[in-house]
């Protein structure tokens, strides 16, 4: 999983099996620096982040991202595909047109972002660096409030993860404090008998929003909530 560097993933790439690697909630998966082969890097919730000196999205064969309103570069509808292989770019562009006879039916479009949403996304991109700085500042405050119980991974602050004794109780407390805390994932896919650690993490980790334009009162409310959760 993205919580632990997985050597099996590296073995999978050596076997030539393509895969998708996700950077969830702005937490950047360090496996991106290790794997090779043909793979897609999902930067929907991490666009703008960096691993070392390289931008998130530059590691995979292709990168896919989202411009939906709930994403770091959001504010519109649709998404994007990025890469530096001209042949792959041409194949992706071909999928945006409905009348290409060479495409299977399930690839037929239209898959182009509308001009209106493209304009909205462009305007959002101009504000993205400032919003990122604001989220980073808020994340540092929550790190201090958590006293070492926040998730320690390279990140682009988007959602902030903290370990609680009981995630469900922490989320109920968040509702009372008018904070939109959630579980990082809905629930593990595998049976608990086979993946007990995954279920343990699911019962403990809580995802807290990092609003880019939180005022001082809102920031203090988040800090107070985090202190309640980790005490």
The tens place of each residue's pLDDT in the chain, 231 residues long, gives 444 445 555 555 556 678 889 888 788 888 898 888 889 999 998 998 888 889 999 999 999 999 988 888 887 888 899 999 999 888 888 777 666 656 665 665 566 788 888 888 888 889 889 998 999 999 999 999 998 777 777 777 788 888 899 999 999 999 999 999 998 877 887 888 888 888 888 899 999 999 988 999 999 999 999 999 987
The CATH architecture one would assign to domain 128-230 is: Alpha-Beta Complex (3.90)
Q: 218 CB contacts (<8 Å, ≥6 apart)?
A: 211
Which helix (H) or strand (E) segment is 54 a member of? strand 54-55
Q: CA–CA separation, 186 vs 53, rounded Å?
A: 33
Using CA atoms of 74, 78, 79, 85 in order, give the dihedral in degrees to the nearest 10: -160
Q: CA–CA separation, 8 vs 215, rounded Å?
A: 44
Q: CA–CA separation, 132 vs 188, rounded Å?
A: 30
Distances (CA, A) of 19 to 49, 53, 114, 155: 21, 24, 29, 22
Instruction: Indicate yes or no: pTM above 0.85.
Output: no
The CATH architecture one would assign to domain 7-66+79-112 is: 3-Layer(aba) Sandwich (3.40)
- The confidence score (pLDDT) of residue 167 equals 94
Query: What is the SS3 assignment for 182?
Result: strand
Q: CA–CA separation, 98 vs 103, rounded Å?
A: 9
Residues of the chain with CATH 3.40.640.10: 7-66+79-112
Residues of the chain with CATH 3.90.1150.10: 128-230
Closest CA to 23 of 61, 68, 67, 60: 60
**Rounded to 5°, angle at Cα 12 from 1 and 83:** 85
Alpha helix segments (H runs only) across the chain: 7-14, 86-94, 115-146, 167-176, 196-204, 216-230
- The confidence score (pLDDT) of residue 105 equals 59
Closest CA to 25 of 160, 177, 145: 160
Q: 123 CB contacts (<8 Å, ≥6 apart)?
A: 75
Cβ neighbour number for residue 191 with a 10 Å cutoff: 9
């Amino acid at each position: 999983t993205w919580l632990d560097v997985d050597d099996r993933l590296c073995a999978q790439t050596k076997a030539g099996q393509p895969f998708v690697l996700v950077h969830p909630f702005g937490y950047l998966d360090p496996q991106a620096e290790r794997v090779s082969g043909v793979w897609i890097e999902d930067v929907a919730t991490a666009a703008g982040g960096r691993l070392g000196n390289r931008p998130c999205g530059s590691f995979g064969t292709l990168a896919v991202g989202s411009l939906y309103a709930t994403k770091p570069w959001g504010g519109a509808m649709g998404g994007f595909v990025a890469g530096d292989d001209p042949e792959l770019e041409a194949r992706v562009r071909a999928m945006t047109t409905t009348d290409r006879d060479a495409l299977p039916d399930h690839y037929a479009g239209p898959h182009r972002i509308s001009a209106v949403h493209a304009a909205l996304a462009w305007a959002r991109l101009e504000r993205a660096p400032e919003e990122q700085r604001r989220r980073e500042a808020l994340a540092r405050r929550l790190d201090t409030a958590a006293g070492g119980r926040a998730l320690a991974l390279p990140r682009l602050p988007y959602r902030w993860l903290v370990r609680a004794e009981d995630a469900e109780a922490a989320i109920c407390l968040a509702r009372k404090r008018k904070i939109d805390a959630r579980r990082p994932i809905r629930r593990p896919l595998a049976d608990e008998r086979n993946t007990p650690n995954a279920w343990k993490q699911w019962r403990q980790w809580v995802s807290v929003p990092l609003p880019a334009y939180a005022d001082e009162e809102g920031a203090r409310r988040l800090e107070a909530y985090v202190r309640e959760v980790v005490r």
